[in-house]
A and B are shown apart, each in its own frame.
Chain A
Amino acid sequence: MGSQGLCRSAQNCGNGATITRPASERITTQGLLTAPPCASFPAPLYSNNNHIFEKPEEVKHIHSLGRRMADDKDVLRDVWFGRIPTCFTLNQDEVTEREAEPYYLLLPRVSYLTLVTDKVKKHFQKVMKQEDMEEMWLEYEGTALKWHYPIGLLFDLHASNTSLPWSITVHFKNFPEKDILHCPCNSVIEAHFMSSIKEADALKHKGQVINEMQKKDHKQLWMGLQNDKFDQFWAMNRKLMEYPTEEGGFRYIPFRLYQTMSDRPFIQKLFRPVTTDGQPNTLGDLLKEVFPAAVTPDGILDLVFVNMT
């Protein structure tokens, strides 16, 4: 059970996709630190052996988040810069003036479809009349893609077992009102993103950190994501990732569990990073508590684990 999980996650850690993890692996504070830098981000829960706490006593020696995070900078960068090569093809029922060529793009795992596909829209605009184009929406193998999910999550959920590039179909008609949210402009994406960040901070710090930050700091978080600026983003995000061990660390761990075959969009529950005895909880503990069906004798079922951080 253990080795296969480790191999896959080690292989995928650059892309930030973790499918299976050995249940015995610790979610240490380090695991949290290396978890996704932004809300709803595929979590590698990367466990560099340098950072797994072998003994609970070591937890007490961690004074400063800053020191630990510097060690993890490589991992944070790998996660941030993860990309998925994607091929966009126009739905064949769309009305075009001439044949539409597919469009290729490297999608950032940490971003949102509607934020990064302007070029896709402009490309197909060249062969279509404006009156035949309504709000663009994207589909993979019959499923409308939820733009408010991070791109990496969508890929892991729908296409992680397929060969690259990821093939997405582009639509400009018959918007699936009952399935996906509208996205009339970028400020809607920003609102979603910030809402996610706030909810995660409500769990981690009762919202105190996010509420003490100024509006311009919030803006910097968003602009960092929008413009793919790792340093700009993390200058602010490090505050949200502060784990005051003397106060017990995060109050609760922000996480969501997604499954491909489920009516429910995700599982999200309150879960503390340490037990009443002060022992760090592991991923296995979390799964046993919130999704026991996922933990079988042969290992953990394929789940996509997303840490909201």
Chain B
Amino acid sequence: MPMSGELDEGERTFRLCCEQFIQHSQACGDGWMWEDVKGSEDGYMKKTLLKTRSDSGAPSKASRMSKDDETIKLEFEAQAVDEEEVDDDDIGNTTANGPELIRYEYHVVYSSSYQTPVLYFRASSSDGRPLTLEEMWASVGDHYRARLLQGPWDTITQQEHPLLGQPFFVLHPCRTQEFMSPIVTAAKGENRSLNYIIAWLSIVGPVVGLSLPLSYASAASQLEATPD
């Protein structure tokens, strides 16, 4: 009999960390949710974000400065965008007089082969056309690009999403251990609890334009320790 208890431990830890992560996300309105894959026990964490296209790569002026009702409403709507609810026509109408909206999707999927989480992402313009990697970089910003070049990851490539079968961009997971083990070791050494997902996403997320509010850090220290 296969030892399913032992085999699934990495995945069980992953799910526990995601659960805690999403709890905090809901508390601070950061927009992450869990998505189940129909007809199976598998699932993944997902976040959808609407941003305006900006050459400087910084979050659009509209979302940062002029917090008028329209913009605030947009941000709140962006927090948890449901696939079926978003009507591309609506997006077009909303921005008829303003800059184009780009829709970003981030998925955190567990890799049993590497026993780590993997970040999948894609973006599309308001007419539904997927962005190329170059276009994504242009909208994310130079300082993030520099970070990518420094990081211990092989590259970003286009891959098929293992659960959905559609093209996504991926930060390759085979060297995740390299940058995560010092963090895991340090936490153990200091007898500090660690939510692997929070730690990992705080490192890889910014590289692809995804930021974690600082409140996750304080939430992490209050969370239960991950099982050994």
Contact = CB atoms under 8 A, between A and B. Distances in A.
B160 A268 contact: no
A202 interface: yes
A286 B139 CA distance: 45
A188 B166 CA distance: 17
A198 B2 CA distance: 24
Given A191-B157, A265-B162, A180 B167 contact: yes
A146 interface: yes
A270 B163 contact: no
B98 interface: no
B166 A178 contact: yes
A199 interface: yes
Interface stretch (A51-59, A156-164, A242-250, A271-279): A271-279
Contacts of B7: 270-272
Contact of B162 (A195, A268, A289): A268
B2 A281 contact: yes
Interface string A253-290: 01000000001111011111001100001000100010
A181 interface: yes
The secondary-structure label for the interface of chain B is loop
Contacts of B40: 264
A272 B1 CA distance: 10
B129 interface: yes
B158 A181 contact: yes
B113 A148 contact: no
Query: Which residue among B2, B4, B8 has the maximum number of chain A CB atoms within 10 Å of its CB?
Result: B2
B219 interface: no
Contact of A265 (B38, B112, B160): B160
Given A195-B172, A268-B162, A178 B167 contact: yes
A263 B166 contact: no
B112 A270 contact: yes
B3 interface: yes
Interface residues of B, number: 29
B114 interface: yes
Contacts of A195: 157, 172
A203 B112 CA distance: 9
A179 B172 contact: no
A289 B93 CA distance: 50
A188 to B, nearest CB: 8
A198 B113 CA distance: 10
A272 B161 CA distance: 25
A254 B163 CA distance: 17
B165 A264 contact: yes
A182 interface: yes
B130 A177 contact: yes
A258 to B, nearest CB: 11
Contacts of A289: 2, 4
B37 interface: yes
A264 B113 contact: no
B159 interface: yes
Given A181-B158, A263-B38, 11 more contacts: A178-B130, A178-B167, A182-B158, A182-B167, A188-B157, A254-B113, A265-B160, A268-B162, A270-B8, A270-B112, A272-B3
30 contacts: A146-B160, A148-B160, A178-B130, A180-B167, A181-B167, A182-B167, A191-B155, A192-B157, A198-B174, A199-B114, A202-B113, A202-B114, A203-B113, A207-B174, A254-B113, A264-B40, A264-B163, A265-B163, A265-B164, A266-B162, A268-B112, A268-B113, A270-B7, A270-B8, A271-B7, A272-B2, A272-B7, A275-B1, A275-B2, A276-B1
Interface of B: 1-4, 7-8, 37-40, 112-114, 129-130, 155, 157-167, 172, 174
CB-CB nearest 7 A-B residue pairs: A265-B165, A270-B7, A177-B130, A199-B113, A181-B158, A270-B112, A202-B113
